[in-house]
Chains A and B, each alone.
Chain A
C-alpha cells in the first residue's frame, strides 16, 4: 500500500517563560492509505502536538519546528505557505477535535459550517452545498437532517455535535482524517455509536485516520496500527495485535497493566506506574521512561535507546532489547486475554 503521510524525525518545541518546552522530540511514523493509526499516550506526551503539526495548527511563535519533516503525498507540509495550507486544510486533511461543545461556532448554523468548506474547496454554489450538507448529515446518522441543518450547535446534544463535526470534517472527502480524542467527552453508549460510524465511513470513503487517544479500549476496537508515545517520543510502534499481545516496552506493559480488567475479580491490585511523567522543559538525557521504569539500568539514564526492529511492523526503543541486557519477561498484568500470540 502507498504511504500517504510520512512524518520523519519531527521535533516541535514551544518558547515559554519557563524556558523551551520540547513537546515532541524526534517522532517518526508513516500512514498507509485506508488505515487507522492510533497514537496512544498520557497527557503531555506530545500526541496532540504531533497531530496539530500535521495540520500546521501550531502557532509559530511560540511554537517552533526544530527539526524533521512531514510529507503528505510526497510534498513537504512544513515548507508550504499559509495560503497553500488553507487549500489543504479541510480538503485533503481534516480534523475532529476532542470537545464538540467548544469547537463548533455557536453563532453559525450547522448547515453553514458544513457549507463553508464545500464552497471554498469545491466551488459549489450555496444551494448545492446545502443539499450536500443534508446528505452528509444523513450519512453520519442525524435524524431529520432537513430541519437539523438550519439549527445552531446549542440545539444539538453532545453526541450529535460530534456527528456534525464528523460531517464537516468529511465534507470534502479528505484523504486523511485526524481525530483528536473524538470520544473522550462522550458517554460510553454514544462512544460506541461514534466509533462504529467512523469505521463505516472509512469503509465507504477510504479515508486514512490518525486516531489520538489515551483509551486502550478504543484503540483495540478501532485501530490497525498503534504508536505509543511517552515524553515526546514514540517508544513503541506496531500492529494492534503486536502491541496488545507481544508488547516489548515496559511503558506499554505499564499501560496495559494499569487498565482495570473487566474479567478480573477486582481483588487483584492494579499495576500502577509509580511517579509521574517527565518535565519536558528539562527532558531527561536518556530514555524518558527511565525514571519510572522498574527495569531501568544505568545506560537508560544516559542514552536514548535506538529502535529495535522486532518484525516488519513492530519497532521498540528500549535497552532491554539490547543483546547485552538481562532478559525480562513482561509482568502478568500486561498479558492481554491470558494468551499471547507470539509468546
Chain B
C-alpha cells in the first residue's frame, strides 16, 4: 500500500473530496497490421488525449457521432479495454495500472449499462441469477439473502418479484434494459457508465428508462457517465456535457452553455442539426460538408478543419488544446486563441 501512496504523491493526485473520477490525457490506439508479414503500419486513434472530471453525484454526458470514440472512451475508463496512455483516477486512486485482486476489488464501484438489451443478457440465465451474479461474485451471502435482495432490486427498477424465475426472452426491450440496470445496481456502485442505454428502445419506452435512471441517481447516490448520440436525450440527462469528434474532446461545458451558446464550430453544427419536434421552428441549420475522416488517417492540426466552415490556414498545422474561454466552458479551437 505504501507504494501506492508514493505513486499518488509523485503524480500529484489531489484528494478533492468532490471529485469522483478524473481522466487525464487518456489515449487508446488500435494498431493496424497489413502486408504479408502483418507488420504494424499505423494506428487507429480511437481516443486521442481526452481529459475529463466527474464530480460526485453529477451526470456527465458524452456526445458525438458514430466512430468518434465515445464508447471506447467509456470502456477504457472502466478498464474493459486497456488504455494506450493516460491516467484514470477513481475516488482518489489511480486505477490505470491496478491489476489482479486490487482491480477486482475496485470494480465493484464502477459498473456499466450496455446499449443493446438484447445482446447483453445471457439468454440461458434466469433473471434472478443474472441480477445476483455480481453479488455472488463478491460476497458469500446465503441463497435466501440473495433472493430477497434481488427481488427488492427488481421491484425497484419497475419489474415484479415474480420475474426472478423468468428468462430474458420473456421480456420486451425496455424491460430487459431494466434488468441490465438492476444488474449494474446490485453492488451499490458509485459510478455507472451508461453507453447508449436507450438508443435501442422506442420513444415511449425510452422516456420510462430515462425517468428511472434519474430517480435511481438520487436514491443510490450515483454518478453517471452518460454516453449517447441523441443530443436531446443527453441534454435532458446531463449536468455537464463533453463533445467528441474523431477521438478528440472539442468542447466541454455546462449543458445550457453547450446548447445555447456553443463555441466550437462543430458543436454549433451539431446543435443546429437537431431536428426540433415543432414545425414552426425553422432553424438556421449549419450543414456540414462531407463525412467524418477516417481515424486511421486523421487530418493534421485540428481534426475538424476538413469540414469546418470557418477554418483558417493555421488550423492545418496547429493542434488546438482545450482552453477555458468562458467560466465552466472549455473549447479546443484556434478561433478563441488570443495570440
Q: Do A and B bind each other?
A: yes
Q: Write the residues of chain A forming the contact surface with B, with a CB cutoff of 8 angstroms.
A: 42-43, 143, 157-160, 187-193, 195-196, 214-221, 240-241, 244, 254-262, 264, 266, 269-274, 276-277, 336-337
State which of A220, A276, A336 has its C-beta within 8 Å of the C-beta of B205. A276
Q: How far is the CA of A219 from the CA of B279 in the complex (A)?
A: 8
Q: Is B148 an interface residue (CB 8 A)?
A: no
For chain B, which range describes its interface: under 10, 10 to 19, 20 to 34, or 35 or more residues?
35 or more
Q: How far is the CA of A220 from the CA of B277 in the complex (A)?
A: 5
Contact A244–B255 (Cβ < 8 Å)? no
Q: How far is the CA of A261 from the CA of B272 in the complex (A)?
A: 14
Q: How far is the CB of B181 from chain A (nearest CB, A)?
A: 15
Contact A256–B207 (Cβ < 8 Å)? no
Contact B203–A160 (Cβ < 8 Å)? no
Chain B residue numbers with a CB within 8 Å of A256 are 277
CB-CB under 8 A for A269 and B211, given A220-B279, A258-B204: yes
Chain A residue numbers with a CB within 8 Å of B214 are 269
Chain B residue numbers with a CB within 8 Å of A258 are 203-204, 206-207
State which of A43, A191, A195 has its C-beta within 8 Å of the C-beta of B202. A43
Q: Mark B271-286, 1 if CB is under 8 A from A, else 0.
A: 0111111111100010
- Leading 5 A-B pairs by shortest Cβ distance: A217-B275, A260-B236, A258-B207, A270-B207, A187-B65
Q: Is B95 an interface residue (CB 8 A)?
A: no
Contact B278–A272 (Cβ < 8 Å)? no
CB-CB under 8 A for A192 and B204, given A217-B274, A220-B278: no
Q: How far is the CA of A29 from the CA of B336 in the complex (A)?
A: 53
Chain A residue numbers with a CB within 8 Å of B172 are 276
Q: Is B287 an interface residue (CB 8 A)?
A: yes
Q: Write the residues of chain B forming the contact surface with A, with a CB cutoff of 8 angstroms.
A: 65-66, 172, 174-175, 202-208, 210-211, 214, 229, 231-233, 235-238, 255, 259, 269-270, 272-281, 285, 287-288, 290-292
Contact B278–A214 (Cβ < 8 Å)? no
Among residues of B, the one whose C-beta sits closest to the C-beta of A259 is B277
Q: How far is the CA of A269 from the CA of B276 in the complex (A)?
A: 19
Chain B residue numbers with a CB within 8 Å of A262 are 231-232, 235, 259, 274, 276
Q: How far is the CA of A256 from the CA of B274 in the complex (A)?
A: 16
Q: How far is the CB of A25 from chain B (nearest CB, A)?
A: 19
Q: How far is the CA of A271 from the CA of B210 in the complex (A)?
A: 10
Q: How far is the CA of A131 from the CA of B243 in the complex (A)?
A: 42
Contact A241–B275 (Cβ < 8 Å)? no
Chain A residue numbers with a CB within 8 Å of B292 are 157, 187
Chain B residue numbers with a CB within 8 Å of A259 are 203, 207, 232, 277
Contact A216–B277 (Cβ < 8 Å)? yes
Q: How far is the CA of A261 from the CA of B175 in the complex (A)?
A: 24
Chain B residue numbers with a CB within 8 Å of A255 are 203-204
CB-CB under 8 A for A221 and B275, given A187-B65, A188-B231, A196-B287: yes
Chain B residue numbers with a CB within 8 Å of A215 are 275
Q: How far is the CB of A68 from chain B (nearest CB, A)?
A: 26
Contact B236–A264 (Cβ < 8 Å)? yes
Contact A160–B291 (Cβ < 8 Å)? yes
Among residues of A, the one whose C-beta sits closest to the C-beta of B232 is A260
Among residues of A, the one whose C-beta sits closest to the C-beta of B281 is A337
Contact B259–A241 (Cβ < 8 Å)? no
State which of A188, A241, A272 has its C-beta within 8 Å of the C-beta of B279. A241
Among residues of A, the one whose C-beta sits closest to the C-beta of B63 is A188
**15 A-B pairs whose Cβ atoms sit less than 8 Å apart in the complex:** A157-B292, A188-B65, A188-B273, A189-B270, A189-B288, A190-B291, A241-B279, A260-B236, A262-B259, A262-B274, A269-B214, A270-B210, A270-B211, A272-B211, A337-B278
Contact A42–B270 (Cβ < 8 Å)? no
Q: How far is the CB of B263 from chain A (nearest CB, A)?
A: 17
Among residues of B, the one whose C-beta sits closest to the C-beta of A41 is B202
State which of A188, A269, A277 has its C-beta within 8 Å of the C-beta of B270. A188
Contact B279–A260 (Cβ < 8 Å)? no
State which of A193, A196, A260 has its C-beta within 8 Å of the C-beta of B233. A260
Q: How far is the CA of A183 from the CA of B66 in the complex (A)?
A: 14
Contact A42–B204 (Cβ < 8 Å)? yes
CB-CB under 8 A for A192 and B207, given A241-B279, A244-B279, A266-B235: no
